[in-house]
Amino acid sequence: MSSAKSFKQVDVFSQTKFKGNPVAVFYDADDLTDSEMQQIARWTNLAETTFVLKPTTREASYRLRIFTVLGELPFAGHPTLGSCYALIELGLIQPNSAGLFVQECAAGLVEIKPIGSLTDLRNLELQFKLPYYRFEYLVDQTTQMSEIAKLLGVSHEKIITEPVLVDDGPRWLVVQLDDNESVIGLKPDFSYMVELSHKYNWSGISAFGKDQSSETEFELRNFCPGDLLEEDAACGSGAGSVGAYLGAHLKSGHTKLKLSQGRCIGRDATLNVSIENGGTDVFVRGAATTCIVGTY
């Protein structure tokens, strides 16, 4: 790391600064080593830190590497939107002929669609399509349901459908509770959650519940203490895991969801999820705003 280069800290899934989920975005990172990227990610101590590199394929607008404090991820939601927003803000990327930005990452090529005008960033939202997702089902339902209820601190009756592991980059165990108030009231046993995450190879828990006054509004909380982050403020891949989970049970061709997240830890994020093509395609949309600009 020689001459000074730029970075930004972007708040994602909120138009109000410091109410979403921050990601640190480091530009011109081609000459950084893996260990230097990991060192920076540990220092920022955010949920994720990203590094922008030159793409290796003509289809891509840029290449992105995504790190937590512990290691690299193939894909993550809020870093994807935050990094794209930062590059748009700097004028470093332009949409392709289809009006899309294309992110190259370890999960493949991720299409990002701008919703709104690129000249009005205050009201711009960005939408990505999950590059992939896979389901894994409980092996020992009786035992694992008891373990899940215990780690969340709820009775079995509060869990209204069978939890499913959704791998969409991170590996989220998706748990649907009876309503949004049950989600807000969760007091998880984080030590036990770490133990089970290691036992079953979970990245964390996506716990969600429907607002009883609405068919499309939900409360979402993502817990990932195994990554040294007890609760994520606003999680794009977590929202995507909920979309994939609900899409598997979709009776109509498409649906739209509005997820609130972060209120239990002093944030106020909004994540919009669209499930299309009979549950096959899952899109996550949200706003972003830059909070910090600096050099490294």
Res 251: pLDDT = 63
Res 157: pLDDT = 96
What pLDDT digit, counting tens, does each position of 137-195 carry? Answer: 999 999 999 999 999 999 999 999 999 999 999 999 999 999 999 999 999 999 999 99
- What is the torsion angle, in degrees rounded to the nearest 10, for the CA atoms of residue 296, residue 43, residue 270 and residue 167? 110
What pLDDT digit, counting tens, does each position of 115-141 carry? Answer: 999 999 999 999 999 999 999 999 999
**CB-neighbour burial class of residue 36 (10 A; exposed 0-12, middle 13-18, buried 19+):** middle
Q: Is 81 helix (H, G, I), strand (E, B) or coil?
A: helix
pTM for the model: 0.94
How many of the other CB atoms lie within 10 Å of CB of 213? 8
Whether 275 has a pLDDT exceeding 90, the answer reads: yes
Banded model confidence at residue 228, pLDDT cuts 50, 70, 90: confident
Res 286: pLDDT = 99
Q: Where are the alpha helices (DSSP H) in 45-169?
A: 77-90, 141-152
Q: Catalytic residue numbers?
A: 48
What pLDDT digit, counting tens, does each position of 10-51 carry? Answer: 999 999 999 999 999 999 999 999 999 999 999 999 999 999
Residue from 49, 37, 51 nearest 78 by CA: 49
2-11, 192-201, 232-241 — which is least confidently predicted?
2-11
Q: What b/e sequence results for 133-168 when a residue is b if at least 16 CB atoms lie within 10 Å of its CB, and e otherwise?
A: beeeebeeeeebbebbbebbebeeebbeeebbbbbb
The answer to whether 39 and 69 have CB atoms below 8 angstroms apart is no
